[in-house]
């Protein structure tokens, strides 16, 4: 019988793998230009949302738990005027997900309950921040779905 820790780890790993696949599929459904264009005067582009998720996961899970040394420039995630190519951005997101998967594998039974602290968020333990980051990914991928639909509407 699997332990609760192993069940939680596998559940999160499945979710994060799904997020990587969804971002790749959504990015493939639009042109490079559409990936970086905001179809509305408000909100963000798919590309900038992807950069934001990369920054979020690398800071809250990479720098704070996996001790990667990542330094976040949150403002640039939304305002970079010379962003990387779409494929490079998707590959960077996938590499970030691989870092998250490795971090999850290292949690162990007691890792979930270890205290957690970071600028910009209040969570008591690692389980809480990992859950928050997974929900954050899910939220922004939902936005990307609508952006892809808008870009792909017949004109």
When pLDDT is cut at 50, 70 and 90, the band that residue 79 belongs to is confident
Taking residues 48-60, report their average pLDDT. 97
Residues 6+ apart with CB under 8 A from 119: none
For residue 78, the SS3 value is helix
Q: Is the pLDDT of residue 141 over 90?
A: yes
- C-alpha pair distances (Å), 138 with each of 12, 20, 32, 86: 12, 11, 22, 20
What digits encode the pLDDT tens for the residues 96-115? 999 999 999 999 889 999 99
Q: Is the pLDDT of residue 93 over 80?
A: yes
Q: Is the pLDDT of residue 80 over 90?
A: no
**Residue, of 36 and 1, whose pLDDT is higher:** 36
Check residue 61 and give its pLDDT. Answer: 98
Check residue 155 and give its pLDDT. Answer: 72
CA 74 to chain centre: 13
Sort residue 4 into left (φ over 0), alpha (ψ -120 to 50) or beta: alpha
Nearest-angstrom CA–CA distance, 27 and 8: 29
- Residue 19 sits at φ, ψ, to 5 deg, of -60, -40
What digits encode the pLDDT tens for the residues 8-40? 999 999 999 999 999 999 999 999 999 999 988
When pLDDT is cut at 50, 70 and 90, the band that residue 130 belongs to is very high
Check residue 81 and give its pLDDT. Answer: 84
List of domains in the chain: 4-151 (1.20.120.450)
């Amino acid at each position: 019988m699997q332990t609760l820790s192993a069940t939680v780890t596998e559940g999160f790993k499945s979710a994060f793998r799904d997020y990587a696949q969804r971002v790749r599929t959504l990015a493939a459904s639009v042109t490079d230009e559409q990936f970086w264009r905001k179809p509305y005067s408000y909100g963000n582009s798919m590309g900038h949302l992807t950069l934001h998720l990369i920054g979020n996961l690398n800071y809250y899970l990479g720098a704070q738990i996996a001790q990667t040394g990542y330094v976040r420039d949150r403002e640039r995630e939304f305002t970079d005027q010379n962003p990387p190519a779409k494929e490079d951005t998707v590959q960077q997101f996938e590499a970030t997900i691989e870092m998250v998967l490795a971090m999850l594998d290292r949690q162990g039974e007691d890792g979930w309950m270890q205290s957690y602290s970071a600028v910009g968020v209040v969570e008591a333990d690692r389980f809480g921040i990992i859950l928050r980051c997974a929900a954050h990914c899910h939220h922004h991928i939902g936005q990307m779905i609508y952006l892809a639909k808008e870009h792909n509407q017949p004109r």
